[in-house]
Amino acid sequence: MKPKRKIQTDLIHAGEEEKVDHSVVFPIFQSATFVSQDESAYEDIRYLRLNNSPNHRVLNAKIASVCCGEAAVVTSSGMAAISATLLSLLKTGDHVLVQNCLYGGTHSLFVEDLPDFGISVDFIDGNRPESWAAKIREKTRVIFVETMTNPLLEVADLEAIVVFAHNHGLIAVVDNTFGTPINYRPLDHGYDVEIHSATKYLNGHSDIVAGCIISTHERIERIVRRLNHIGPTLDPHACFLLQRGLKTLALRVHHQNTSAQALSEKLLQHEKVARVHYAGLPAHPQHRRAGRLFSGFGGVLSFELREGLDAAGKLMSLVQIPTSAPSLGGVETLITRPAITSHAGLTDAQCQALGISQGLIRVAVGIESVDDLLADFELALSKL
């Protein structure tokens, strides 16, 4: 067996050992179908929707290696990865425990869609392990959490989740989009299934929508069968772009970790800033846990101004470098107000209950010069 290489090396080379026609870069196979080789099983037919094109094979192998999993599969969006996983692991009558502060699309899937298939859901507070056991039912099969919550960057008791899951025979699933495999390796910490919205850090350039799932051979095989029937396959060109984006993941995330830390510290010291949410700050409620589990605190932070709502709107228009847009994980810095974007579907009271004030601003830092970014925020704050 080859020695396990470091993630920086795997990002470049894993899955790509075999060169096609001496091409250094793995090419795009823009073909919906492939010549029959007397395949006997449906899954073995070479057809693009069946997730077995050369672009899929190489990219899936790379992602599995990077995340230290046995197998992986890419999907046409992060939501496709999440829904296909849940529809593979759960069936009518089953019950699932989910963290109470999830990405909006995932939350909607749990409360609007899964109940239509007879799958019931209960919410848990990721930081109160003593309250979880009371929610277990005979048919509880899965526990679903995120590495860090959006937009307050809270860190659930991720270690207790694994212990609890395995004590109760549950499958532990984590959406590691905010963690990235650079900062956190859930499978090494006992999680059974790791999911990403590859739209974000893995691709890193805000130019495709994609997702991926990493787990054991057996579980990925089961998920792929379901994916093949539902149909959210990533197209070969998007596979190519994701594969290219992945090569710089380590460089980008290291830069983003450093910039987000510097921006958090700078904002915290500013007299016009009331609060900063970032796990890299010692005052963050789960700073010690995050420091123990993660090798970096990520590229997303959020903050509130003392002046509140009006000042927040003004600041958004005063900053020059950040672009006002949803999403995160790209090379460009993006800025949003969650109360009017990702959490717009919630009432004021619901937002307040989650700790999301109307004036809360979220920043997803890119890879611009950190000096320029800090100066830009400094100038914008001085004009308020």
Ligand X SMILES: *Cc1c(COP(=O)(O)O)cnc(C)c1O
Q: In Å, how far are 53, 181, 244 from 13, measured between CA atoms?
A: 19, 16, 11
What amino acid occupies position 20? V
Among candidate residues 182, 80, 102, the one with its CA nearest the CA of residue 146: 102
Pick from 55, 65, 197, 203 the residue near ligand X by CB under 6 A.
Answer: 197
Pick from 140, 177, 183, 264 the residue near ligand X by CB under 6 A.
Answer: 177
Say which of 46, 47, 49, 122 is annotated catalytic. Answer: 49
Q: How many residues touch ligand X (CB under 6 A)? A: 15
CB 74 within 8 A of CB 60: yes
What amino acid occupies position 17? E
103 carries an active-site annotation:
yes
Candidates 121-129, 194-202, 234-242, 344-352; binding stretch for ligand X (CB under 6 A): 194-202
CB 338 within 8 A of CB 303: no
Site for ligand X in 207-266 (CB under 6 A): 209, 211
Residue appearing with tokens 């974000």: 200
Say which of 62, 141, 185, 200 is annotated catalytic. Answer: 200
Nearer to ligand X, 208 or 367 (CB): 208
* Site for ligand X contains 154 (CB under 6 A): no
Nearer to ligand X, 170 or 238 (CB): 238
Q: How far is the CB of 190 from ligand X (least distance, A)?
A: 20
* Site for ligand X contains 330 (CB under 6 A): no
The residues, ordered by sequence, that sit 6+ positions from 339 with a Cβ below 8 Å of its Cβ are 351, 356, 357, 358, 359, 360
Say which of 10, 175, 192, 376 is annotated catalytic. Answer: 175
User: Using H for helix, E for strand and C for coil, what is the string for 78-122?
Assistant: HHHHHHHHHHHHCCCCCEEEEECCCCHHHHHHHHHHHHHHCCEEE
Q: How far is the CB of 78 from ligand X (least distance, A)?
A: 2
Which of helix, strand or coil describes residue 140?
A: strand
Candidates 89-97, 195-203, 249-257, 292-300; binding stretch for ligand X (CB under 6 A): 195-203
Pick from 200, 252, 337, 343 the residue near ligand X by CB under 6 A.
Answer: 200
Taking CB positions, which residue lies at the least distance from ligand X?
Answer: 78
CA–CA dist 68, 77 (Å, integer): 21
Which neighbouring-strand residues pair with 32? Answer: none
57 carries an active-site annotation:
no
Q: How far is the CB of 102 from ligand X (least distance, A)?
A: 8
Site for ligand X in 112-151 (CB under 6 A): 146
157 carries an active-site annotation:
no
CA–CA dist 354, 357 (Å, integer): 9
Over the window 40 to 79, marking each residue x when it contacts ligand X by CB under 6 A and - when it does not, the resulting string is -------------------------------------xxx
Q: In Å, how far are 1, 37, 220, 342 from 49, measured between CA atoms?
A: 32, 18, 16, 31
**Beta strands per DSSP E along 191-293:** 193-197, 211-215, 273-277
Nearer to ligand X, 273 or 334 (CB): 334
Candidates 6-14, 116-124, 197-205, 313-321; binding stretch for ligand X (CB under 6 A): 197-205
306 carries an active-site annotation:
no
- Beta-strand relationship, 193-197 and 171-175: parallel
* Site for ligand X contains 199 (CB under 6 A): yes
Pick from 10, 154, 175, 376 the residue near ligand X by CB under 6 A.
Answer: 175
Q: Which residues bind ligand X (CB under 6 A)?
A: 77-79, 103, 105-106, 146, 175, 177-178, 197, 199-200, 209, 211
* Residues tagged active-site: 49, 103, 175, 200
